[in-house]
Amino acid sequence: MAFHFHPLVASRVHFSPLPFAAATGAPSPSSSVAIAAHYHHHGRRRFSAIVATATTTEFNFKAYMEERAVAVNRALDAAIPAGGLPAALHDAMRYALLAGGKRVRPALCLAACAVVGGPESWAMPAAAAVEMVHTMSLVHDDLPCMDDDDLRRGKPTCHVVYGEPIAVLAGDALLSLSFHHMASVGSYPPAVDPEKHPARVVRAIGELARCIGSEGLVAGQVVDLEMTGTSQTVPLELLEYIHLHKTAALLEASVVIGAIIGGGTDEQIEALRKYARSIGLLFQVVDDILDVTKSSEELGKTAGKDLASDKTTYPKLLGLAKSREFAEKLVSDATEQLACFDEEKAAPLLHLANYIAHRQN
Amino acid sequence: MAFHFHPLVASRVHFSPLPFAAATGAPSPSSSVAIAAHYHHHGRRRFSAIVATATTTEFNFKAYMEERAVAVNRALDAAIPAGGLPAALHDAMRYALLAGGKRVRPALCLAACAVVGGPESWAMPAAAAVEMVHTMSLVHDDLPCMDDDDLRRGKPTCHVVYGEPIAVLAGDALLSLSFHHMASVGSYPPAVDPEKHPARVVRAIGELARCIGSEGLVAGQVVDLEMTGTSQTVPLELLEYIHLHKTAALLEASVVIGAIIGGGTDEQIEALRKYARSIGLLFQVVDDILDVTKSSEELGKTAGKDLASDKTTYPKLLGLAKSREFAEKLVSDATEQLACFDEEKAAPLLHLANYIAHRQN
């Protein structure tokens, strides 16, 4: 079977089988070491050096993610009034936003800020903002008139608990709050309030806004809905359009916004954009794989749904083994973009890429 | 009957019957002249001078509004791709946005920019943005799960034409586009691109975002929906909460954003904020009056709907005559705030206030 990748991705995918995962069918538990060995074998010294450092200094990814999740949850909690009029709206916003997601997007945003040399705290408002946008898209996509999903992160979805009108409005409020949060002096630490770096904030807001509408999340959802209604198999090119918009766009924005707020150069920002595009598509390929290989309990959401609805997925188009192979290529391609950064500072982004590739839910 | 106004309004309402409109029950066609005479009689020289200038130099309000509407429609048309994937989304956005509204909010935004001395063209991206937000709120409020409205601006509503999922998503896309439009270099004339005045743009984006969510439009709609479900009469205080959030907040933001982009001082911005709050509430009082006095054909939307749904309105709470009296007090209170500005430059805002008070649809 021939692969036809989306132009955004194709330019960076150079196929050669990796020595793990795809062949065995199971993600390797020590995959970053395996990648390092693979690239060392192929003489890509700089990249292997990064990975080796990241692994030999025993970067504690679990602790890193937990610390970020705590800080992000604190910022999100503080951003939405508890109680006060209108109580139902605030309750619904808090219910959807504080449901305990993995906070992958905020972590990417904070890590991108740090890798370009900005103190991580500068990107906290942006990290909270991307999670608000992500939550908004989940709340609206779950609506009865859209994907009609009752379960999300192991809990009843927002409209099941609060009703459809409040779910629509809570999504709208989260979307506007994300921009308000990024534009407000009060959200930033004193050293980087928007009045001191307004040009960075404007640029970051532009990136966030672009990834939502007709060039991002919404466009992906529209085409996804159109495809769901038909019995025909979606061609790979269109499947990638959907995922690059519905999933990758916000992951890209999360990384790019962090780099902008952190004061990254244009070259750094573009390298990180490429990294983010690969992991964005990777995220969805892995999602598709998990849908056919895991139970609802393991996922915290309805499993097997893609299969039941005859939805086109990577496993359906490529088969499970080739899908895993594609995932491994995307993760190696993404991490390659980190070669131009300080090794130690790039460790979180490297581990995030591996985590997205090998997560179990 | 005693009046209990919302604190935001009460501080600026000083009741004394005006010699027109409220008594006759019909808006006066020469009301700005009447206001001038009234205030001259009461010795408020500065205000009457403004009005006199505005009327004696024969400011052509109709031409002013038509010219702005053309320019705003051009900006809106250019902001949304015609065709291209996803076509249904772009079509729905264009359908809702280019349905020929009166463009009152953009006109307020442009006029506020001009009154503080900024070239009007600087505020065009913001003017387009506030209209996008306004349209988004109409599209979502019209949804079957909300107000369930089939007719808007004399045409079938967005979900009637494009279906509910696309209507939800078109609203989301318009909301994000409004911020993208304000943050993008390409939206501005060269003299004021966001890289040259980023602090103004950040502040303006913050104002726009604040007026949408749980402090603005959405909050008003939530409380409105809650009240619609009950058989009890809504107290005046709560009715004003709804209208100050659902209607006044965006009108306030339109004016304030224009003044910020135009480079207004904090004092100027706050005077214009007070002007805008009064005309914001005025707008809704007049809407309520029109609903009981006009036909669907005259309004371009379903008339008598408030009465049919037993909705609490100003006419229901205060009676028609007192509602008109209240409207006149709000318009005079609003125009009073314009006394500190150049008379000629303030003419559009003065006439906009009178237009909002005496419009027929």
What are the pLDDT digits (tens) for A117-128? 999 999 999 999
How far is CA B259 from each of CA A70, B110, B115, rounded to the nearest angstrom?
39, 8, 8
pLDDT of residue B168: 98
B184 touching A (Cβ < 8 Å):
yes
pLDDT of residue A26: 35
Number of helices (H), then strands (E), belonging to chain A: the values are 19, 2
A164 touching B (Cβ < 8 Å):
yes
- Please state, for a pLDDT cut of 70, what percent of chain B lies above it: 79
Tokens at A179, concatenated: 């921009």
DSSP B113-161: HHHTT--GGGGHHHHHHHHHHHHHHHHHHTSTTTT---EETTEE-HHHH
A253 touching B (Cβ < 8 Å):
no
Give the start-to-end residue ranges of the domains of chain B.
Answer: 64-358
CATH of domain A64-358: 1.10.600.10
Tell me the C-alpha distance between B289 and B310, whole Å.
14
Which residues make Cβ contacts (< 8 Å) with residue A44, sequence separation at least 6? A336
Q: How close B126 gets to chain A, by Cα (Å)?
A: 14
A85 touching B (Cβ < 8 Å):
yes
For each successive 10 residues of chain A (361 residues), what is the average pLDDT? 36 30 34 36 38 58 96 95 86 94 95 96 97 97 94 92 98 98 90 80 97 95 86 86 94 98 97 96 92 71 65 88 94 96 96 92 75
ipTM score of the complex?
Answer: 0.84
B162 touching A (Cβ < 8 Å):
no
Tokens at A14, concatenated: 């150079």
pLDDT of residue B27: 35
B305 touching A (Cβ < 8 Å):
no
Which candidate, A94, A210, A220, A104, places its Cα nearest to that of A162?
A94
pTM: 0.84
Which candidate, A304, A290, A296, A306, places its Cα nearest to that of A239?
A306
pLDDT of residue B255: 98
Reading chain B (361 residues) residue by residue, the pLDDT tens digits are 333 333 333 333 332 332 233 333 333 333 333 333 333 333 333 334 444 444 445 789 999 999 999 999 999 999 987 777 899 999 999 999 998 888 999 999 999 999 999 999 999 999 999 999 999 999 999 999 999 999 987 899 999 999 999 999 999 999 999 999 999 988 998 877 667 789 999 999 999 999 999 999 999 999 999 888 677 788 899 999 999 999 999 999 999 999 999 999 999 999 999 999 999 999 999 999 998 887 666 666 666 666 666 778 899 899 999 999 999 999 999 999 999 999 999 999 999 999 999 888 7
CA nearest to B208 within chain A: A180
Q: Residue B300 phi/psi, 5° resolution?
A: 75, 10
**Placement of tokens 């408020």 in the chain:** B44
Q: How close A80 gets to chain B, by Cα (Å)?
A: 9
| B 193-222 residues inside an 8 A Cβ radius of A | 194-195, 198-199, 201-203, 205-206, 208-210, 212-214, 216-219, 221-222
The answer to whether A105 and A134 have CB atoms below 8 angstroms apart is: yes
